Each structure stands twice: as C-alpha cells, then as structure tokens.
Amino acid sequence: MLAFILSLSCAVSQAQDISNDDKQKRRLVVLAPHLVESMFAIGAGEQIVATTTHSDYPEQAKSIPQIGNYARLQIEKILQLRPDIVVAWRTGNPAEDLLRLEKYKMPVVYTQPTQLEDVAKEIKLLGELTGRQDKANEVADAYLQRLNHLKAEYQAKQPVTVFYELWSRPLRTVAGSSWLQQQISACGATNIYRDLAEDYPQVSLEDVLAKQPQIIIQPSKHGQSQPDAINWQTWPQIPAVTNDFILQPNADKVHRMTTRMLDELELMCRQIDQARQFYQQQPND
C-alpha cells in the first residue's frame, strides 16, 4: 500500500478549502527526479521552484535550481524560497533534513511508492496538490491500463531465469519486493535470487555463474553501457552469454517510479519473451 503522509501542522491538511486556481499557483520544492517527471506529466512542472540533483527529465527540468541530493538538502535555501509545499520521497531524502524543515513549520508532503501500481496513486496525489485532478486522473488511469495489459500478456507465461546486475562493485542484484523485482515478475521471468529477503542483496560472481541464468539484465545509464559493468563475455558457459540474451534497459527509465518506466518495461518483456521462445524450442538434455 502506498503511504502518503501529510504534515498535520501545515496548510496542506486544509487542502479541501483551497480552490483549484489557488492550488495551481502553489510554489513547490520537489525532492526527487521521479516526482519532478510526474509533475511535468500532469502539467504542473512550472510550479516547481527547486529540486534535487539528477532531476533531468523532461528537458525543462534541467533549468530548475537544485537544492540538494539524496544525502543532503540545503535547508537555508529552501527556507529562503518560501515554498507553499515541499514534496518529499520518504526513503529517498535525508530524514534528518526533512525533520528540520518540519521544525521550521515548512509544509511537507511525503510519498512512498512501493508497488508498480503506486505510480498512479502518487500521480493522483500530485494532481490534488496542484489542482490538476483531471489531467492527473487521465495520466494515472492510462498508466494502470497499460501496466495491467502488460501483466496480462506476459506474467503467466512459462518462466525463464534472470540475473539482474544492479551494481558491479560490489556485485549487487535485486530480490524481495523491490521495484525492479516486480518488473521482472511482470514479464513472467524468474529472478535467480527472488527468494532473498533483502531487496538489493550483495551476491558473489561465483554463485551467479553456478546458477546459469538464461537472461542477464544489465541496465545502462543514459542509454549507454557503463565502463565498470561486468564483461559477461568472459564466461561463455552461461546460457545468457552463449545465446546472446544480455539485456540493457535504460536505467533512467526502469529505476524511476514514473509512467516512462512502462516504455522500457514493455521492451524488456518483449525481449524476455523472445528468449523464452528460443529456450522452448531447444531440445531437452
């Protein structure tokens, strides 16, 4: 369930008494790239007066002043801006800095999407905050329809085994109920580490080699291969390498909780399905 926590000491708690025209004039500090994307998607990008590093989509977002990152916020600059609302990502922003903002009576709205479906809920919340409910509902409903269609098409198909290279040094993957694990499941694939409790566990290269994944997912940054990524061609005995099923989705899309994620998820599901059909056609040992 998506947890949206509104600061009780601020005017946000009285949002029902504010007209849409007034909501559309609110000045917002938005503290995560995915939130910035969703703001622009519903036509509220012009209300953002500051954001954090890596808020680079759409192009207009690059011109918004940045007042911090995932590790530190510039509290003084935020206070000087005197925003009407600060929109924060509960686990993606420094908790101590957010508490400082609350102590200064700064109105803070927290969001924490945990499921793929929560993107739609978050968009609708942003629509309520900015007086753009109609557009937000339209975007959210289209997202859910497309997500449900993808799941219906791929989720129940015969599984193929996948290893997701989240980070190479140290080698980390995805598991548990993580955002990326949900994407793998939506495509009807089986993560070789899906049963680990930790969402982003560290694993050994030797163990990956032993598990012989049929597909390797190696996301790229800004659509480009990373120089420190593992060169899997070194181990041609892995089925994913032998059969050339190393997928490189755009990390800027798959890692962010936005509607753009579906573009890359749809592509990834098609690629996984191609691998599935290939392995189904192979003779049994």
Torsion of CA 64, 34, 139, 122, to 10 degrees: -110
Q: Is 223 left (phi over 0), alpha (psi -120 to 50) or beta?
A: left
Q: What is the pLDDT of residues 105-129, one digit of tens each?
A: 999 999 999 999 999 999 999 999 9
CA angle 62, 32, 74 (to 5 degrees): 85
- pTM of the predicted model over 0.85: yes
Judge contact between 248 and 271, C-beta under 8 A.
no
Residue type, 159: P
Structural Rg of the chain based on CA atoms:
21
Domains of the chain: 5-144 (3.40.50.1980), 156-281 (3.40.50.1980)
Tell me the C-alpha to C-alpha distance, in Å, between residue 114 and each of 1, 139, 280.
7, 19, 33
CA angle 122, 128, 132 (to 5 degrees): 105
Q: What is the pLDDT of residues 66-105, one digit of tens each?
A: 999 989 999 999 999 999 999 999 988 999 999 999 999 9
